[in-house]
Structure 1
């Protein structure tokens, strides 16, 4: 090979290497900027989400405490346990949970939305079951009382489990710093 051709090939190889390095550097800088922007966006959303999740969990825990009482009473749970005042409080809690669930659902992400809406649905079902059970005071309705009691206990357990699940999902959503896809 003559010296001129070697010089041209050497220059061409140097140019290709320089262009490759520039492309790789540009790609790396773009990826780094994307990660930084995503991380900043997540950080900006984390603080409002934290407050929304905190309020939702706080309100939902009130119903969770009631659900725990129902679960602990089990077969001893009778319609006369649900006084007018207790029944009214259960309905108020369910309505408040529905409102807070909407806020949590809008704060997202999708897993939180699904979990918050499930808790609101269970709170509503629990509230409705309490109302039905309260009306079954006559002993002629023993079979219906038993079925209604089972519904309350079922919804109470599901509610408690769903609330625990939501809390874990909320922690995970708040821990996400945006660096992962």
Structure 2
């Protein structure tokens, strides 16, 4: 074989090899950039969801504590002004939770939003029960034990819905990592 032809063939193979390597490297780099963007987006999404879930769970926890204070005040037969003030705090927290639950529908998934709504419904039932208890203290033939029993049942239902909400939120956060 002629040395000139060998040199041309060698140069041709070198150019083709270099070009092919450049194309493959470019594709690999684009895919790697897409993968990294997907990972970054998933991480960002998880952080937003985590903030949203916490912003819902914090007032839920506070509302449960206030509801316990109201029931204890009603058992002790504290003044209506104190009970009324506590019920006002509870109502404000319920409004905060309602706003947070609306945001859950934006951040998703739907299971978390439905679980948040279930907490809100259960909390409203507890609130209504406490208001009824307060209003009927003077005139109701029901005993304090009946009110306590009813409140205990409603508070247990609330606790169950809060546990379900926390479970669904945790499951959604874990799914964001693996997605």
Give the 3 Å change call, closer, same or farther, for CA 137–178 of structure 1 in structure 2. Answer: closer
Partner of 2:104: 104
Query: 1:46–1:174: 8 Å Cα contact kept in structure 2?
Result: yes
1:68 positional shift: 4.5
Do 2:66 and 2:86's aligned partners in 1 also have CA atoms closer than 8 Å? no
Q: Could you tell me the TM-score, scaled by structure 1's length?
A: 0.64
Structure 1 stretches of 4+ moved >6 Å? none
Structure 2 unaligned runs (5+)?
1-30
Of 41-50 and 96-105, deviating more is 41-50
Q: Give the count of matched residue pairs.
A: 147
Give, in whole Å, the separation in 1 of the partners of 2:149 and 2:79: 16
Question: Who is 1:159 aligned against?
Answer: 158
CA contact (8 A) 1:49 1:174 kept: yes
- Say if 1:102 and 1:147 are closer, same or farther in 2 by CA, change over 3 A: farther
Counterpart residue number, 2:19: none
Alpha carbons 1:122, 1:158 under 8 Å: kept: yes
Q: CA RMSD in A?
A: 3.4
Look up the match of 1:176. Answer: 175
Structure 1 residue ranges without an equivalent (≥5): 1-31
Which structure: larger Rg?
2
Task: Spell out the pairing of 1:14-25 with structure 2 (5 A cutoff).
Answer: none
Q: Does 1:66 align with 2:66?
A: yes
Residues 56/154 of structure 1: CA separation in 2 closer, same or farther (3 Å cut)? same
Point out the more displaced range, 98-107 or 108-117: 98-107
SS in 1 for 2:137: coil
